[in-house]
Chains A and B, each alone.
Chain A
Amino acid sequence: EEQLVQSGAEVKKPGESLRISCKGSGYSFVTYWITWVRQMPGKGLEWMGRINPSDSSTNYDPSFQGHVTISLDRSISTAYLQWSSLKASDTAIYYCARHFRNYDILTRQFYFYMDVWGEGTTVTVSS
């Protein structure tokens, strides 16, 4: 079974650092990008960024660039999302997802959709 398993809930204080994880199994981990999505309490989904496990290249949404870092350890099929200094506004559920790439013959363009999701990691930042 193709799945992504995320690390458990975290409670942190403002200014602390944090790294959460997302482990893939049941498929070739290096074949598909891993993407991260934020959901603040009671709010919608926000795409944060992604990493290509084959070469560790990353893309970030401008809103999140510089605030978080996405990385991975290919040897254990695990991607990470990390903060160096948390803020209360980072309180949210964070989902990882497999970013499946497909190709549209008519427009000759690639497109990506999130076909396998982790269960989410709840991060609470409070003094």
Chain B
Amino acid sequence: IQLTQSPSSLSASVGDRVTITCRASQGINNFLAWYQQKPGKAPELLISAASTLQSGVPSRFSGSGSGTDFTLTIDSLQPEDFATYYCQLLNSYPSFTFGPGTKVDIK
């Protein structure tokens, strides 16, 4: 199963609403996670099972989707949200594939 993300990068302003899409090459139910990675840092889990927000993650982040099409939405982008975002398959043994990433930078 392959994952694609769109866009590969985007420029946005503080306060903007940002939407990132992840598409699977075949249906994966809701077995998808989203991670945030800031430069020089390890990734951090934002969302599991397509829409379950991890403890401590701000509520401006939300995930949706099922089957092949998934979305990560950031409402009212904050300065600390400028980062690269990855989606990942959660039960696709033998590989828990990551998407190629979407870089969000400042307009």
Contacts and interface: CB of A to CB of B under 8 A. Distances in A.
B6 to A, nearest CB: 14
B95 A47 contact: yes
A115 B45 contact: yes
Contacts of B44: 117
B100 A95 contact: no
B103 to A, nearest CB: 10
| B interface secondary structure, majority | loop
Interface bin, chain B: 20 to 34
A46 B89 CA distance: 12
A114 B45 contact: yes
Interface residues of A, number: 26
Interface string B82-95: 00001010110111
B42 to A, nearest CB: 4
Given A45-B101, A102-B49, A115 B54 contact: yes
Which 10 pairs between the two chains have the least Cβ-Cβ distance? A111-B90, A111-B91, A117-B42, A45-B98, A113-B48, A47-B96, A61-B95, A113-B33, A44-B101, A111-B31
Interface of A: 35, 37, 44-47, 59-63, 95, 102, 104, 107, 109-115, 117-120
